[in-house]
Amino acid sequence: MNLKAKPAAAALHCHRPALKFALAYAAFATLWILLSDALLALLLNGQSAVVIHFASTLKGWVFVAVTAVLLYWIIRRALNKSAQLAEQKSALLHEKIRAQALLSKIAENSTDFIFVKDLSGKYLFANQAMISALGKAETDVVGHSDFDVFSQQEADLFTFNDQTVRQENRIITFEEILHAPDGNKIFSTTKGALFDEAGQIFGTFGIAREITAQIKTESALRHHALRLQRLSDFNSLLSDANEAIARADDETALLQTLCALAVKRAHLRLGR
């Protein structure tokens, strides 16, 4: 990224109005001199030197008056435009500060982990919920990388995910595991790239929510559903078996029917 490009472009943008004004003034002055001299020569042909001198002096004063009015109009217009731009910038800055304060307040009061890292992986910001959960001081997190805060295995995973969102240039939600003294904690972490005003990536943001209890609940529900399905299959098997017993004419036919039911209902395989 060329850091000098933006200041150079801004300087060119500032100098452009001055250059336009100077060129306009030069063109006006040139035309005034040429046309006024030609007009005086035409009108005062054959007049005395005194009359010609007086006319030339008067022409000069008229030029000064006209250019003074022109300069006043141009400068007043430029100042008005500058004042309008200054007011707009001030309003935008005020709104930006207000938005940043609001975002900061939301981040600090959120129970989710909210953080920002630079391209080297160092934390530029970490909210209070994250700092408190890690049991560290803010100075031990902000300004440090994942390798300073977490284990090697965790840092490798977090760094890989950060690189993935920057390379793919999209927001991605990961399931990340944090090893804690009271057991592993599972987080649903949404990450994305951050861009500066020039459209260049300067870091990564993340919002992490612990879903350990949710994962355990979902696992328990799946296990419970599987047990219910097995009980249902077993009940169906017993019902079909009772019906087969009631209809059977001999033991051989009953055995074949029960074996067929076992394969169909209980998902058993009969060996040869």
- What pLDDT tens digit does each residue of the chain (272 aa) get? 444 445 555 555 556 767 777 777 778 778 877 777 777 777 777 677 777 777 778 877 888 888 888 888 888 888 888 888 888 888 888 887 787 777 778 878 889 999 999 999 999 999 999 999 898 999 999 999 999 999 999 999 999 999 999 999 999 999 999 887 777 899 999 999 999 989 999 999 999 999 988 888 877 788 888 887 777 777 777 777 777 777 777 777 777 777 777 776 655 444 44
End-to-end CA, the chain: 73
Report long-range pairs for 14-21 (Cβ below 8 Å, ≥24 apart).
17/78, 21/74, 21/78
**Beta-carbon contacts of residue 134 (< 8 Å; ≥ 6 apart):** 141, 149
Confidence at residue 238, expressed as pLDDT on a 0 to 100 scale: 74
Confidence at residue 3, expressed as pLDDT on a 0 to 100 scale: 41
* Rounded Cα gap, residues 144 and 125, in angstroms: 10
Confidence at residue 225, expressed as pLDDT on a 0 to 100 scale: 80
Instruction: Indicate the SS3 state at residue 1.
Output: coil
Confidence at residue 152, expressed as pLDDT on a 0 to 100 scale: 95
What the block records as the tokens of 229 is 């399905």
Confidence at residue 267, expressed as pLDDT on a 0 to 100 scale: 56
**Beta-carbon contacts of residue 152 (< 8 Å; ≥ 6 apart):** none
- Give CA torsion, residues 243, 247, 252, 256, to 10 deg: -40
Domain locations in the chain as residue ranges: 5-105, 110-210, 217-265
CATH class of 110-210: alpha beta
Confidence at residue 160, expressed as pLDDT on a 0 to 100 scale: 96
What the block records as the tokens of 154 is 């965790």
Specify whether the CB–CB gap between 207 and 114 falls below 8 A: yes
Question: Residue for token digits 């020569």?
Answer: 41
Confidence at residue 186, expressed as pLDDT on a 0 to 100 scale: 93
Strand partners, 105: none
Among the listed residues 71, 48, 24, 72, the one whose alpha carbon sits nearest the alpha carbon of residue 56:
48
